[in-house]
Structure 1
Amino acid sequence: MTKKVLVAGFTGAMGQKAVNLVNSLDNFELVAGMSPTATNDPQKYNLPAGAKIYQSLAEIPDLAADIWIDFTTPKAVYDNVKFALEHHISP
Protein backbone atom coordinates (compact mmCIF):
# COMPACT_ATOMS: atom_id res chain seq x y z
CA MET A 1 0.00 0.00 0.00
CA THR A 2 1.39 3.38 -1.01
CA LYS A 3 1.67 5.99 1.74
CA LYS A 4 0.83 9.59 0.80
CA VAL A 5 3.32 12.17 2.12
CA LEU A 6 3.08 15.92 2.74
CA VAL A 7 6.31 17.87 3.31
CA ALA A 8 5.94 21.13 5.23
CA GLY A 9 8.81 23.53 4.61
CA PHE A 10 9.63 21.88 1.30
CA THR A 11 11.20 25.02 -0.19
CA GLY A 12 14.19 25.04 2.17
CA ALA A 13 17.41 23.05 1.88
CA MET A 14 16.34 20.29 4.28
CA GLY A 15 12.82 20.28 2.88
CA GLN A 16 14.25 19.67 -0.59
CA LYS A 17 16.31 16.77 0.77
CA ALA A 18 13.09 15.29 2.20
CA VAL A 19 11.34 15.81 -1.15
CA ASN A 20 14.14 14.01 -2.99
CA LEU A 21 14.16 11.16 -0.47
CA VAL A 22 10.40 10.60 -0.67
CA ASN A 23 10.55 10.76 -4.48
CA SER A 24 13.17 8.00 -4.46
CA LEU A 25 11.24 5.57 -2.24
CA ASP A 26 8.94 2.80 -3.36
CA ASN A 27 5.52 2.71 -1.69
CA PHE A 28 5.61 6.43 -0.86
CA GLU A 29 4.00 9.18 -2.94
CA LEU A 30 4.66 12.88 -2.42
CA VAL A 31 1.17 14.34 -2.76
CA ALA A 32 1.54 17.79 -1.20
CA GLY A 33 3.81 20.46 0.19
CA MET A 34 3.11 23.35 2.53
CA SER A 35 5.06 26.60 2.57
CA PRO A 36 3.73 30.14 2.96
CA THR A 37 6.23 31.44 0.40
CA ALA A 38 5.79 28.81 -2.32
CA THR A 39 4.34 29.50 -5.74
CA ASN A 40 1.90 27.06 -7.31
CA ASP A 41 4.53 25.37 -9.51
CA PRO A 42 5.23 21.85 -8.19
CA GLN A 43 8.00 21.09 -10.68
CA LYS A 44 9.97 24.17 -9.57
CA TYR A 45 10.39 22.41 -6.20
CA ASN A 46 10.94 18.85 -7.49
CA LEU A 47 7.40 17.88 -6.52
CA PRO A 48 5.47 15.51 -8.78
CA ALA A 49 3.29 17.33 -11.32
CA GLY A 50 0.06 16.41 -9.53
CA ALA A 51 1.22 17.45 -6.06
CA LYS A 52 -0.79 20.11 -4.27
CA ILE A 53 0.93 23.18 -2.85
CA TYR A 54 -0.61 24.76 0.23
CA GLN A 55 0.44 28.11 1.65
CA SER A 56 -1.32 27.77 5.00
CA LEU A 57 -2.69 25.14 7.34
CA ALA A 58 -6.23 26.37 6.68
CA GLU A 59 -5.98 25.21 3.04
CA ILE A 60 -5.10 21.59 3.88
CA PRO A 61 -8.10 19.21 3.92
CA ASP A 62 -8.58 16.24 6.25
CA LEU A 63 -6.70 13.15 5.11
CA ALA A 64 -4.64 15.13 2.58
CA ALA A 65 -1.80 12.70 3.35
CA ASP A 66 -0.91 9.77 5.57
CA ILE A 67 2.45 11.15 6.71
CA TRP A 68 3.54 14.71 7.60
CA ILE A 69 7.25 15.56 7.37
CA ASP A 70 8.06 18.94 8.90
CA PHE A 71 11.09 21.06 8.02
CA THR A 72 9.55 24.43 8.85
CA THR A 73 10.71 26.71 11.66
CA PRO A 74 10.85 25.89 15.38
CA LYS A 75 8.14 28.49 15.93
CA ALA A 76 5.75 26.71 13.53
CA VAL A 77 6.37 23.04 14.38
CA TYR A 78 4.06 22.77 17.40
CA ASP A 79 1.04 24.17 15.54
CA ASN A 80 1.87 22.09 12.46
CA VAL A 81 2.09 18.81 14.39
CA LYS A 82 -1.08 19.62 16.30
CA PHE A 83 -2.85 20.33 13.00
CA ALA A 84 -1.56 17.11 11.44
CA LEU A 85 -2.79 15.01 14.36
CA GLU A 86 -6.19 16.72 14.37
CA HIS A 87 -6.52 15.99 10.63
CA HIS A 88 -5.53 12.33 10.86
CA ILE A 89 -2.05 12.76 9.40
CA SER A 90 0.86 11.04 11.18
CA PRO A 91 3.76 13.41 11.91
Structure 2
Amino acid sequence: MPLQPVRLLTDGCRSVSRQPAKDDAEAIMEILSNPSVVQHNPSDLTTELEDVEALVRRWQGRWKRHGFGNCCVCDEIPPSTTREMMAWTGRSPTARERGGF
Protein backbone atom coordinates (compact mmCIF):
# COMPACT_ATOMS: atom_id res chain seq x y z
CA MET A 1 0.00 0.00 0.00
CA PRO A 2 1.48 3.37 -1.01
CA LEU A 3 2.44 5.83 1.68
CA GLN A 4 0.73 9.20 1.82
CA PRO A 5 2.27 11.89 -0.41
CA VAL A 6 4.60 14.38 1.25
CA ARG A 7 3.69 18.01 0.64
CA LEU A 8 6.56 20.41 0.01
CA LEU A 9 6.06 24.16 0.34
CA THR A 10 8.75 26.46 -1.08
CA ASP A 11 8.35 30.19 -1.66
CA GLY A 12 4.66 29.94 -2.49
CA CYS A 13 5.19 26.92 -4.76
CA ARG A 14 3.35 23.81 -3.67
CA SER A 15 4.47 20.39 -4.74
CA VAL A 16 3.82 16.82 -3.71
CA SER A 17 6.40 14.07 -3.47
CA ARG A 18 4.95 10.58 -3.86
CA GLN A 19 5.86 7.02 -4.73
CA PRO A 20 6.20 6.33 -8.45
CA ALA A 21 3.38 4.55 -10.25
CA LYS A 22 3.39 2.59 -13.50
CA ASP A 23 1.56 5.49 -15.18
CA ASP A 24 4.52 7.81 -14.45
CA ALA A 25 6.80 6.07 -16.99
CA GLU A 26 5.97 8.42 -19.89
CA ALA A 27 6.59 11.56 -17.80
CA ILE A 28 9.86 10.11 -16.49
CA MET A 29 10.90 9.25 -20.04
CA GLU A 30 10.20 12.81 -21.13
CA ILE A 31 12.72 13.95 -18.51
CA LEU A 32 15.31 11.22 -19.15
CA SER A 33 15.23 11.67 -22.93
CA ASN A 34 16.30 15.31 -22.65
CA PRO A 35 20.11 15.48 -23.05
CA SER A 36 20.35 18.82 -21.23
CA VAL A 37 18.65 17.32 -18.17
CA VAL A 38 21.03 14.36 -17.93
CA GLN A 39 24.20 16.15 -19.07
CA HIS A 40 25.93 15.54 -15.71
CA ASN A 41 24.82 11.91 -15.61
CA PRO A 42 24.66 10.92 -19.29
CA SER A 43 24.16 7.23 -18.52
CA ASP A 44 20.58 8.15 -17.50
CA LEU A 45 19.74 9.20 -21.08
CA THR A 46 17.09 6.90 -22.54
CA THR A 47 14.58 7.05 -25.35
CA GLU A 48 12.97 3.64 -24.83
CA LEU A 49 9.74 3.49 -22.86
CA GLU A 50 10.44 -0.16 -22.04
CA ASP A 51 13.66 0.86 -20.22
CA VAL A 52 11.84 3.51 -18.21
CA GLU A 53 9.05 1.07 -17.28
CA ALA A 54 11.76 -1.29 -15.94
CA LEU A 55 13.26 1.63 -13.98
CA VAL A 56 9.86 2.41 -12.43
CA ARG A 57 9.48 -1.27 -11.44
CA ARG A 58 12.91 -1.15 -9.73
CA TRP A 59 11.91 2.00 -7.86
CA GLN A 60 8.64 0.37 -6.77
CA GLY A 61 10.58 -2.70 -5.61
CA ARG A 62 12.80 -0.52 -3.41
CA TRP A 63 9.73 1.01 -1.81
CA LYS A 64 8.33 -2.45 -1.18
CA ARG A 65 11.58 -3.80 0.30
CA HIS A 66 12.85 -0.76 2.20
CA GLY A 67 9.86 1.57 2.71
CA PHE A 68 11.58 4.43 0.86
CA GLY A 69 13.08 5.22 -2.51
CA ASN A 70 12.72 7.50 -5.49
CA CYS A 71 9.71 9.83 -5.52
CA CYS A 72 7.86 11.67 -8.23
CA VAL A 73 7.58 15.40 -7.59
CA CYS A 74 4.34 16.90 -8.88
CA ASP A 75 2.72 20.32 -8.88
CA GLU A 76 0.03 20.50 -6.24
CA ILE A 77 -2.59 22.53 -7.96
CA PRO A 78 -6.21 22.60 -6.81
CA PRO A 79 -7.16 19.00 -5.98
CA SER A 80 -9.81 18.86 -8.68
CA THR A 81 -7.19 19.16 -11.46
CA THR A 82 -4.49 16.77 -12.64
CA ARG A 83 -1.09 16.87 -11.00
CA GLU A 84 1.72 17.16 -13.52
CA MET A 85 5.04 15.50 -12.73
CA MET A 86 7.95 17.98 -12.65
CA ALA A 87 10.86 15.81 -11.50
CA TRP A 88 11.84 12.94 -9.29
CA THR A 89 13.99 12.71 -6.19
CA GLY A 90 14.89 10.17 -3.55
CA ARG A 91 17.66 7.88 -2.55
CA SER A 92 18.78 4.33 -2.95
CA PRO A 93 19.37 2.04 0.03
CA THR A 94 22.92 1.89 1.36
CA ALA A 95 24.83 -1.39 1.44
CA ARG A 96 23.96 -1.68 5.15
CA GLU A 97 20.25 -1.19 4.42
CA ARG A 98 20.47 -3.86 1.72
CA GLY A 99 22.03 -6.21 4.26
CA GLY A 100 25.54 -5.96 2.81
CA PHE A 101 27.30 -5.27 6.15
Whether TM exceeds 0.5 here: the answer is no
TM score, norm. by length of structure 1: 0.29
Larger radius of gyration: 2
Greater RCO (Cα-Cα under 8 Å, separation 6 or more): 1
